[in-house]
C-alpha cells in the first residue's frame, strides 16, 4: 500500500546537496521509495529553485535547477491559491507556526497526504487528526 506523503522543500534540496551525504542518501530513499506517493506544492517548487541556486555551499546553475524543478513538477502539485493562503494564515495564528510552515501544512492537507516529510516541524506531531509530521532524517522512511 502506498502512503500519500507531502515532501517539504528541505527534503528535495538534500537530493542535490553533496555537502550533506547522509541526508542526501535519505532524500534519495524517499524519492525512490515505491511505498510513497509523493506530492509537492508550487511553494515547494519555488523555494527549491531559490535554495539550490543561492543557498547551497555549491549552488546549482539556473538551467540545471530549472530541469530539477521540472522533474519535481511531474509529481502531483498543489497550487497555492487564495483559499490556501487564507487557511495558512488561520493555521499560523492558531498553531504558533510560521506562515510558510502553515502553508506547507495546509497544502499537505489539501493533497490528502497522511505524512508530511520535513525537518522543519515537530517530528511525530499529528495535525488535524490525520497528517503526521515525520522527519525522515530522524526516522528513515
Summarised one tens digit per residue, pLDDT across range 11-25 is 999 999 999 999 999
Look over the chain and give the mean of its residue pLDDT values, rounded to a whole number.
Answer: 95
Strand partners, 41: 78
Q: Angle CA(36)–CA(53)–CA(135) in degrees, nearest 5? A: 30
Range of the domain at 85: 3-139
pLDDT of residue 43: 98
User: 115 with 5: CB under 8 angstroms?
Assistant: yes
pLDDT of residue 141: 61
Question: Taking Cα atoms as reference points, which of 132, 136, 133, 83 lies closest to residue 110?
Answer: 83
Q: What is the CATH number of the domain that holds 91?
A: 3.40.50.1010
Looking at the predicted structure, is the pLDDT value of residue 140 above 80?
A: no
Instruction: Give the span between the Cα atoms of 68 and 127, in whole angstroms.
Output: 30
User: 114 with 132: CB under 8 angstroms?
Assistant: yes
Number of domains in the chain: 1
Amino acid at each position: 500500500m502506498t502512503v500519500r506523503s507531502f515532501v517539504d522543500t528541505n527534503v528535495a534540496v538534500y537530493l542535490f546537496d553533496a555537502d550533506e551525504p547522509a541526508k542526501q542518501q535519505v532524500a534519495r530513499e524517499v524519492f525512490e521509495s515505491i511505498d510513497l506517493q509523493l506530492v509537492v506544492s508550487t511553494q515547494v517548487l519555488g523555494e527549491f529553485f531559490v535554495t539550490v541556486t543561492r543557498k547551497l555551499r555549491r549552488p546549482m546553475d539556473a538551467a540545471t535547477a530549472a530541469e530539477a524543478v521540472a522533474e519535481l513538477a511531474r509529481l502531483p502539485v498543489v497550487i497555492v491559491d487564495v483559499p490556501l493562503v487564507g487557511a495558512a494564515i488561520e493555521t499560523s495564528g492558531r498553531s504558533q507556526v510560521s506562515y510558510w510552515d502553515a502553508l506547507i501544512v495546509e497544502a499537505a492537507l489539501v493533497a490528502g497526504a497522511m505524512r508530511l516529510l520535513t525537518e522543519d516541524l515537530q517530528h511525530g506531531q499529528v495535525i488535524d487528526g490525520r497528517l503526521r509530521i515525520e522527519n525522515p532524517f530522524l526516522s528513515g522512511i
